[in-house]
Structure 1
Amino acid sequence: MANKIYYLASCDTCRKIIKSLPKDHNLVFHDIKQDPITTEELEEMYALSGSYEALFSKKAQLYKSMGLKDKDLTEDDFKKYILEHYTFLSRPVFIIDGKVFIGNSQQNILQVMKALENK
């Protein structure tokens, strides 16, 4: 299975992270705005992370504007919203050697770099 990054090309943070990746990373790039994630791709991420909530971005503007922050969302709700609109996927999501790395925290990106350097 190919190593992948799910990202948003228009996101400055994603672009900065991509620029910092090791040169020979061999990642398959998937821009979630141009090519929305499929149910199968999301289910693969879920299988690796164990939670749709972990994949869900509570920083998304729609999260507040749709009033979702005031609701008690279930795993099914998180899955539905991520599939409905790309902005709900916490970005970037890396899948490297069967492990998932979600989001742009410094610690997460350091783990991604380590995983890519061990190729």
Structure 2
Amino acid sequence: MKKVYFLKTCNTCLRIIKDLNLPSDFIYQDIKTEPITVKQIEEMAELSGSYEALFSKRAKLYKEMDLKNQDLTEKDYKHYILEHYTFLKRPVIIINDQIFIGNTAKVVEQAKQAVNE
């Protein structure tokens, strides 16, 4: 599977997608207009090793809900990601059995290498 979970309104996501120059066989899912399903988040967690790895602690709601002062479990991370798209660390790029989460330079570079393999 070749898929990108992103936000169409996120300039960082759009810049990364453009920089990666992804082939036409990639599927794009704007998580705001097409919410993530339970099956999708479970597949992502299986590839990443945890729900926490997919969870954005930079989300505005994370601070507003004071989640940093709570002891969140994997079940909690899954729940929040499914509840509101803003909790998914973006973009999430899946290339076959590899997953690239977030927008750090290191992750983007790894994704770029995987795309060009």
Instruction: Give the alignment's TM-score, normalised by structure 1.
Output: 0.95
1:95 equivalent in structure 2: 94
1:19 equivalent in structure 2: 18
Code of the residue aligned with 2:102 in structure 1: it is G
5+ residue gaps, structure 2, are: none
Distance of aligned partners of 1:88 and 1:24 in 2 relative to their CA distance in 1, 3 Å threshold: same
5+ residue gaps, structure 1, are: none
Cα RMSD after superposing both structures: 1.0
Q: Are 2:99 and 1:75 aligned?
A: no
Instruction: Give the alignment's TM-score, normalised by structure 2.
Output: 0.96
Whether the 8 Å CA contact 2:91–2:102 is kept in 1: the answer is yes
1:27 Cα deviation from its structure 2 partner: 1.3
Helix, strand or coil for the counterpart of 2:23? coil
Q: Are 2:40 and 1:38 aligned?
A: no
1:115 equivalent in structure 2: 114
1:25 Cα deviation from its structure 2 partner: 5.3
**CA distances 1:25-71 after superposition (whole Å, capped 9, x unpaired):** 53110100000000000000011011100000000000000111110
Q: 1:56 & 1:23 partners in 2: Cα distance?
A: 24
Q: Which runs of 4+ in 1 moved over 4 A?
A: none
Distance of aligned partners of 1:42 and 1:68 in 2 relative to their CA distance in 1, 3 Å threshold: same
1:22 Cα deviation from its structure 2 partner: 2.3
Whether the 8 Å CA contact 1:6–1:94 is kept in 2: the answer is yes
